[in-house]
Chains A and B, each alone.
Chain A
């Protein structure tokens, strides 16, 4: 077969990559130099970069508070997801009356976007007395259907004989799950952790509805609130933006494979 020329493809992909990266670059540049709206044209390269705005924003907002809130909610969500999804995924590999109906139920729940449940979800959370709490913020995200099916597929790939052998030896079911099966499904667990983390880390609408107290705000809430307080030409806003973007991006780049696997398995297997 004729070897095709590579450079036109590289050129096209290079331009596309540049277009995708420019917004990131622009916000990073602004965070390092600020922006003087009376200077035209805007400088393309950062001139006189300095960390002033990062220091500025550190003292202007309770960044640490937001960060801790975000971390607490995400940790609750991730831990709950791994346990609940693994349990449900395992249950779905067994035979029991009502199994088909349960799977149907899960699949139809998938077709209910969370956004269309927001009003009753708010009222329910209020009835449960969970407004303004970490648990209230985490609760709706604590089990994810896509991830249940990721676990189910992983469990089904484990040889049945192994489980049967353990059961005949009298190992209790909960121990079978946590001591034999889970260690063999590390990729599924990794996928679960990364998906649950990114979803809860980025989640905005739900905390916006549930949280009234400034002390309980997570990073996205803090960011949007800061935007409404300061002029959008302030370098501090973009410094804050960069500080919020970096953790998510780093974690995504480290666990890219698991993230993509999770998304596509959810997308293709349903």
Chain B
């Protein structure tokens, strides 16, 4: 009613005697009820599937809990197990860090593409569509396509590498302890690069062109205007991409589940896949909850840092639901 309060009371006084004010008050309560009714479905959904789970997770991580036994207080037992006795946890933790740290590689590539698409070449819309097209595709299908490309005997990638003379025998990328994670990361970058590009394009298009004109009149080279104008001005977009990259380590679940199932060993397990298998395959819900808390804290910490570096309002983006 912010805008309404300016004009509505005046109208009320002109039309009705002051005795009518109780009606107005009643109308206000009715308005408020309606506003909360309108908010209710969304609030219920977010309460059920975001807020309560967050608290419950913490609670669960402090308990001995299984579906058929009453809960017992466990204190920090699960955290101790996680930090000191579970080697797999640390392996998976570092995998997650490596996965997140690969985001800048994808972002740099995407920046190159975005700069090319941002030039005034005819047909740039088509290129943009093609580069972006892999993003909305079902990730499960992406996983199946890429594990096929990586196939040891008939995979296109091995064939290309052999033809180029880089290797002389097919490599089983996804079964190799050292190469499986980079292979999965490459597939993930392929899928998300279009999204980075779109974010960066929005940033590039918000730079006023007269800045470049002024720079070129002052005799700045293309490289100089890139480092001095473009990069500083798209900083918010860059860090937004970084946050997307961090979130990507959660959404990569689909990809990893299909391509490697976390294997060989734990070579491609990320926290999110390890949590899934601990909870839903081994029924260690309580232990998985403790790892979830760790995963969430890691995410929040990195998002916070990225947000600070970007200078404020940039951290809010989410892919998927």
B272 to chain A, nearest CB (A): 5
- Select A6's contact among B7, B34, B121, B193, beta carbons within 8 Å: B121
The answer to the question of B4 belonging to the interface, with a C-beta cut-off of 8 Å to chain A, is yes
The answer to the question of A55 belonging to the interface, with a C-beta cut-off of 8 Å to chain B, is no
Contact-size category for B = 35 or more
Residue of A nearest to B318 (CB): A110
B34 to chain A, nearest CB (A): 5
Q: Contact: A223 with B144, CB < 8 Å?
A: yes
Quick one: given A113-B299, A260-B198, A263-B195, are A203 and B57 in contact (CB under 8 Å)? no
Q: Contact: B154 with A23, CB < 8 Å?
A: no
The answer to the question of B204 belonging to the interface, with a C-beta cut-off of 8 Å to chain A, is no
- Mask for A198-220, Cβ within 8 A of B = 1, else 0? 11111111001100000000011
| Stretch of B42-50, B77-85, B177-185 at the chain-chain interface | B42-50
| Stretch of A45-53, A181-189, A251-259 at the chain-chain interface | A251-259
- Select B60's contact among A26, A119, A224, beta carbons within 8 Å: A119
Contact-size category for A = 35 or more
The answer to the question of A63 belonging to the interface, with a C-beta cut-off of 8 Å to chain B, is no
The answer to the question of B229 belonging to the interface, with a C-beta cut-off of 8 Å to chain A, is no
- Select B141's contact among A97, A164, A198, A241, beta carbons within 8 Å: A241
The answer to the question of A61 belonging to the interface, with a C-beta cut-off of 8 Å to chain B, is no
- Select B145's contact among A23, A95, A96, A252, beta carbons within 8 Å: A23
The answer to the question of B86 belonging to the interface, with a C-beta cut-off of 8 Å to chain A, is no
- Select A259's contact among B8, B136, B289, B296, beta carbons within 8 Å: B136
Q: Contact: A87 with B41, CB < 8 Å?
A: yes
Residues of B within 8 Å of A201, CB to CB, are: 138
How far apart are the CA atoms of A146 and B41 in the complex, in Å?
15
A265 to chain B, nearest CB (A): 9
- Mask for B21-48, Cβ within 8 A of A = 1, else 0? 0000000000110111011011101101
Q: Contact: A111 with B202, CB < 8 Å?
A: no
Quick one: given A42-B156, A224-B140, A267-B199, are A124 and B52 in contact (CB under 8 Å)? yes
Quick one: given A143-B46, A201-B138, are A118 and B54 in contact (CB under 8 Å)? no
Residues of B within 8 Å of A90, CB to CB, are: 38
Q: Contact: B57 with A111, CB < 8 Å?
A: no
Residues of A within 8 Å of B193, CB to CB, are: 20
The answer to the question of A190 belonging to the interface, with a C-beta cut-off of 8 Å to chain B, is no
A21 to chain B, nearest CB (A): 6
Residue of B nearest to A148 (CB): B42
Quick one: given A12-B116, A264-B198, are A232 and B57 in contact (CB under 8 Å)? no
The answer to the question of B292 belonging to the interface, with a C-beta cut-off of 8 Å to chain A, is yes
Q: Contact: A9 with B119, CB < 8 Å?
A: yes
The answer to the question of B2 belonging to the interface, with a C-beta cut-off of 8 Å to chain A, is yes
Which 7 pairs, one residue from A and one from B, show the smallest C-beta to C-beta distance?
A270-B316, A117-B53, A120-B53, A120-B56, A87-B38, A91-B38, A143-B42
Given contacts A10-B123, A106-B42, A123-B56, 8 further A-B contacts (CB under 8 A): A9-B119, A20-B133, A20-B194, A94-B2, A117-B49, A121-B53, A146-B318, A202-B138
21 A–B pairs (Cβ distance < 8 Å), ordered by A = A6-B122, A88-B42, A102-B43, A112-B50, A116-B53, A116-B295, A117-B53, A118-B279, A120-B53, A139-B45, A168-B11, A204-B139, A205-B253, A220-B254, A223-B138, A223-B141, A238-B148, A249-B137, A253-B133, A267-B202, A270-B315
